[in-house]
Amino acid sequence: MAILLFLFPCAEKSPIFNPSFGPASPGCGFRPAGLRGKTLGRIKPTNMDIHKDNRVVMTFDAGGTNFVFSAIQGGREILTPITFPSHADDLKRCLETIYRGFDNLLEILPDPPAAISFAIPGPTDYKNGVVGDLKNLPGFRGGVPLGHILENRYRIPAFMNNDGDLYAYGEALGGFLPEVNGMMEAAGNPKRYKNLVGLTLGTGFGGGFVSDGTLITGDNSIASEVWIISNRFTPSRNAEEEVSIRAVVRNYSDLTHNPADRNITPRDIYDIAGGHTPGDREAAVRAFEIMGMHLGDVIANLISLTDGLVVIGGGIAGADRFFMPAVMKELNNQFDYRHHDPIPRLIQKVYNLNEEEGRKGITEITGTFIELPGTERQVYYDQQPKSGIGTSRIGASRAIFLGAYAYALNQLDR
């Protein structure tokens, strides 16, 4: 059995500082006609193992210039990608390209597809399968019922979901969350984490939240819209204006007092900060630190609400050595309005899991086993709540693929 899956990234590709980090996107979610009316606020967990599932997923990466088609089985790519020009400004030619890509893959796969599944950013009516005015696909402006178009052509369910949500879903099922719990188990620590916030940093600022295997999407399929969260440092701007590619570039240009620096890329600034390219190294480092300060403020609020681990992916995530210290500083900050009796910003002690010290801290057995009176049982008790933050090991693109794959399998198995 095969499944068709699309992946729509952001309007622009994020710069890649490390090959393991994929592009970020501000956010995406849709239920096909056959599944409408069921619970939309969350995607319930199943006992499936996406790495052992034999069903095939055909992938579609829709960029503004090219459409790339491939296939996944058991969470792994199994076909050499096929690329066609997107014709993004012409809806008719764009749809014909999509059909051409699918038809080519269908000739290769031995089993008929069971579903179509794809991630797509907003503005999109996920519930009704209507794609809105996407910057990288101008031909779709005015609203295009792509989900229904695909259902009608291929006579199979079509699934759409938010790319920020699917990123978090993929990291929860096959990335950061199981990795951390694996570390806990290896250390002999009985605690297991079940909640994860996934954030993507790139052209935009996106996110998603998974709790105990359940993807939380909200009543309107727009939960975890982190890009529009406020921040305490610049209250007149939403979070994305301070946590994105344009924020880093703006910070650097403001610090160098050179308007021409607005034309350089975050990769350029990263290389300057690392001393590999001529430029104002101090300003480059500070540009990432300012972004990290704002990011830390957002993450502190998210941890307070979700009590979960946090994983960061996307192009800018590869620059974590420059922005993560500022993030950690904010997470360990205090409310000092009482002066003599400050309140910690967070109840949890948060560890940077990109560092060996942080990995040791979160896995350390700091609690005790308390005897349960009248029985031979013991209960583990740790007075210090702990959380952790780190960058993606599998990359944003890989995590989104896994999330979309798992989402399709989940819906088919319900």
Distance of CA 326 to the CA centre of its chain: 21
For 213-307, where are the alpha helices, taking DSSP H only? 245-256, 266-273, 281-306
For the entire predicted model, the pTM comes to 0.84
Return the closest-CA partner of residue 199 out of 288, 290, 299, 118.
299
Q: What is the H or E stretch that residue 325 is in?
A: helix 320-331
Please, are residues 345 and 332 in contact by the beta-carbon 8 Å criterion? Answer: yes
pLDDT at 34: 39
User: How many residues are given for the chain?
Assistant: 414
pLDDT at 40: 44
Please, are residues 209 and 224 in contact by the beta-carbon 8 Å criterion? Answer: yes
Query: Strand 386-391 and strand 349-352: pairing?
Result: parallel
Please, are residues 67 and 61 in contact by the beta-carbon 8 Å criterion? Answer: yes
Find all residues with CB under 8 Å of 18, minimum gap 6, and list them.
317, 318
Per-residue model confidence as pLDDT tens digits over 176-233? 999 999 999 999 999 999 999 999 999 889 999 999 999 998 888 889 999 999 988 9
pLDDT at 182: 97
Is 374 strand, coil or helix? coil
pLDDT at 198: 98
What residue ranges of the chain have pLDDT lower than 50? 8-40
CA distance 194 to 211: 6
CA dihedral 82, 87, 91, 96 (to 10 degrees): -40
- DSSP assignment, residue 240? G
Per-residue model confidence as pLDDT tens digits over 266-300? 999 999 999 999 999 999 999 999 999 999 999 99
Query: Strand 2-7 and strand 56-62: pairing?
Result: parallel
